[in-house]
Structure 1
Amino acid sequence: MAGKRGRGDAAEDVEAVLDGLYTTPPSGFVARREELAVAARTAGRAEDARRIHGARRPTLAAWAANLLLRSQPEESHRFLELGQALRRAHRDLDPAGVRELSAQRRMLVAALTRQTADLALDAGQRLSAAVLTEVTATLQAVLADPAAADRWAGGRLDSALVPPSGFPPGLPSGPARESAVRSGPAHPPRTDELARVRRERLTRAREAADAAARRLDDRRVEHTDAEAAVQRARDHHGRARQEVEDTEEALRRAREALRTAAGEEQRAQERYRTTADALARAEREARRAAREAERLEPSPEDDRE
């Protein structure tokens, strides 16, 4: 029915929101995440708000890799297909195919790394040499590891990927690779076990670092909210203080006006008494003058004489 949205529409919406969020530069990620979570919560989509709020802020290298995937979908798709072909050639022990695809791999990884740097610069982020090294490692991991390829294809990396120590594990390089091609897979040496342990430790360390980074983001958000609350309280206090000062000034002016009005009233009363006395004197003089004029008025007998 038109005008109504189903669960499928809402799910598509939150997926699109998350896709867009992971192309937001890390410096603005947390603020944008909270803005989107609040919008979803306000719209009554509590589960979407929870998912958005749980999104992990990407490192600069992970963000750049996400940006490459979203900005260059065709090249990214061809890159994923190259990884599938390269892994298949290694698995099938095809030396000619491995050599041909490896040459493509080196050129394409270098080209995509440069393209990633340009895309990031267009977005206002200059990538350092260290970050570009992580981008290159991420692209190499995508080629070597199908799980890494799936993660990158999702477009929501939060940390750089690390290629496995061997491409693929169990297939050595150089003269040892030719021996493996002739005689089949060999038992992995002890160093592979040590490398696996190191990778596991690195994975746990990165997970701990990511968890600490998430806690740091949360504390930063809480600190930002508290800072905003302090500023609002300061503004409120400033407005209240200004109102008090304005009221006190108005009261001072009102008291001054009251004193002025009282003086004017006193002067008016004095004038009233003065004019009342003058009026009384004028009335008495007018009566005396009228009596004097009446007394001096000639009588009819005086006219006959």
Structure 2
Amino acid sequence: MDLNSAAEELYTLHPTEFVRARTACVEEALAAGRATLAAEIAALKRPTLSAWAGNLLVHSEPRQVARLIRLGEGLRRAHQECARTQLRRLSRQQHTLVAALSEQARLLAAEAGHPIGQAAQHKVEQTLRAALADPEAAEKWASGRLVKALTPPAAFTAATAALNESSARPAVAPHRARGGKREVEAAVQQARKRQEEHDQAQAEVERAEAALRELQERATELTQQLHATVELRRRMRNDLEQARRRAAQTEHAAQQARHAAETARARAERPASRGTHRQGR
């Protein structure tokens, strides 16, 4: 067992099974004398429900992972080059692929026996959009060790949404196009503001979930420590009783040995005294 194989096993397990399985892996590493590996495994954090579904997707659909990463590279390049035609085409592909992959994540979770709701599926979609927008986010997601959902940059999301909206509108006269441009800019600003508000709210949710998760993990660890302490106390009591019995047995044997030594000494002294008395006569 190494860190990669342990992480792959742990992060495809449902979050409710994570801590127990992690503890088993840590104990296995310790039993093998691999303290460093045990510490690395112990440092792995339990994923949220949406992160777990995203990890299932990564481990089950490697080709789709590569496809989404390539699409993200194309989108970011089109944004940088202001290639509007290409950006519209890639944005449509993004919408289709994200919807398909989030649905696949939902199906995988259901097949694993733990269906996810709309809120968790929405977070999976947010993670996929974050992977499209940011190469670091893409790397985190593609590792298959995601701990919590990722959030795409507000500017990227707003710009893509405004672009999709403008591409869906019919052509207008030039004098109206200028007014439409201002409307798009206003819509982008409004979308950015709403996205920032959502990001803040989502961050609060993630912080609360992380705090609760840490408390739950700590409670589990304390429970395990308590069980270990109770078992250790039981063993120590048994050892103490055995030690007391051995002490009693050895004390009795020591008394008998002392008595035998005193008897032998007394016997040894009596003949010597008689021999001396006879010589005196």
1:14 equivalent among 3, 12, 19: 3
Cα distance change of structure 1 residues 151 and 140 upon mapping to structure 2, 3 Å threshold: same
Write the deviation string for residues 270-297 of structure 1: whole angstroms up to 9, x where unpaired: xxxxxxxxxxxxxxxxxxxxxxxxxxxx
Cα distance change of structure 1 residues 194 and 103 upon mapping to structure 2, 3 Å threshold: closer
Write the deviation string for residues 109-162 of structure 1: whole angstroms up to 9, x where unpaired: 111111111111111111111111111111111112222111101110011111
Distance in 2, matches of 1:42 and 1:169, equals 52
Kindly provide the amino acid, as one letter, of the partner of residue 173 in structure 1.
A
Q: How much is the aligned-residue C-alpha RMSD, in angstroms?
A: 3.4
Kindly indicate whether residue 12 of structure 2 is the aligned counterpart of residue 23 of structure 1. yes
Kindly provide the amino acid, as one letter, of the partner of residue 4 in structure 2.
E
Kindly provide the amino acid, as one letter, of the partner of residue 61 in structure 2.
Q
Shift of residue 19 of structure 1?
A: 2.2
Kindly indicate whether residue 142 of structure 2 is the aligned counterpart of residue 153 of structure 1. yes
Shift of residue 195 of structure 1?
A: 6.8
Shift of residue 17 of structure 1?
A: 1.2
- Greater per-residue helix proportion: 2
Contact 1:137-1:161 at 8 Å conserved across structures? yes
**Aligned residue number for residue 239 of structure 1:** none
Say which is worse superposed, 160-169 or 55-64, in terms of deviation. 160-169
Distance in 2, matches of 1:56 and 1:119, equals 22
Q: 1:33-182 to 2 correspondence within 5 Å?
A: 33-167=22-156, 173-174=162-163
Cα distance change of structure 1 residues 215 and 233 upon mapping to structure 2, 3 Å threshold: same
Distance in 2, matches of 1:195 and 1:112, equals 22
> Scaled by the length of structure 1, what TM-score is found?
0.61
Q: Secondary structure at the match of 2:156?
A: coil
Distance in 2, matches of 1:197 and 1:131, equals 19
Distance in 2, matches of 1:190 and 1:107, equals 24
Shift of residue 29 of structure 1?
A: 0.3
| Higher radius of gyration, 1 or 2 | 1
Q: Secondary structure at the match of 1:167?
A: helix
Contact 1:90-1:171 at 8 Å conserved across structures? no
Distance in 2, matches of 1:126 and 1:193, equals 33
Q: Secondary structure at the match of 1:166?
A: helix
Contact 2:91-2:160 at 8 Å conserved across structures? no
Q: Secondary structure at the match of 2:115?
A: coil
Cα distance change of structure 1 residues 171 and 24 upon mapping to structure 2, 3 Å threshold: closer
Contact 1:25-1:63 at 8 Å conserved across structures? yes
Kindly provide the amino acid, as one letter, of the partner of residue 217 in structure 2.
D
Counting matched residue pairs gives 218
Kindly provide the amino acid, as one letter, of the partner of residue 138 in structure 1.
T
Gaps (5+ residues) in structure 2?
168-176, 235-281
Kindly provide the amino acid, as one letter, of the partner of residue 92 in structure 2.
A
Distance in 2, matches of 1:132 and 1:15, equals 26
Distance in 2, matches of 1:214 and 1:36, equals 19
Contact 2:158-2:195 at 8 Å conserved across structures? no
Distance in 2, matches of 1:49 and 1:118, equals 33
Distance in 1, matches of 2:153 and 2:107, equals 27
Percent identity between matched residues is 35
Distance in 2, matches of 1:190 and 1:111, equals 28
Cα distance change of structure 1 residues 126 and 205 upon mapping to structure 2, 3 Å threshold: closer
